[in-house]
Homo-oligomer: A and B are copies of this chain.
Amino acid sequence: MKRIVIFGTGNLATHLFEVYKYSGDFKIIQVYNHDPKSLQIFNDQVAITTNLNEIAPADIYILALKDDILAEISQKINETNALVLHTSGAVSVEVLNKFKNRGVFYPLQTFSKNKKVDFSKIPICIEANTAENTKVLNELASEISEKVFGISSEQRKTLHVAAVFVSNFVNFMYTEGEKICNDNQVPFEILHPLILETASKVTKMSPLESQTGPAKRNDQEVISSHLELLNEEQQKIYSLLTLSIQNLHGKEL
Contact = CB atoms under 8 A, between A and B. Distances in A.
Interface of A: 66-68, 90, 108-110, 112, 115, 117, 121-123, 125, 147, 149, 151, 154-155, 157-178, 180-181, 183-208, 210-217, 219, 221-222, 225-226, 229-230, 233, 236-238, 240-241, 244-245, 247-248
A134 B188 CA distance: 23
Interface of A is mostly: helix
Given A167-B213, A184-B158, A67 B222 contact: yes
A94 to B, nearest CB: 14
Contacts of A191: 108, 159, 162-163, 166
Contact of A109 (B193, B199, B225): B193
B162 A207 contact: no
A246 to B, nearest CB: 11
A197 to B, nearest CB: 6
Contacts of A188: 162
Given A175-B248, A219-B67, A121 B199 contact: no
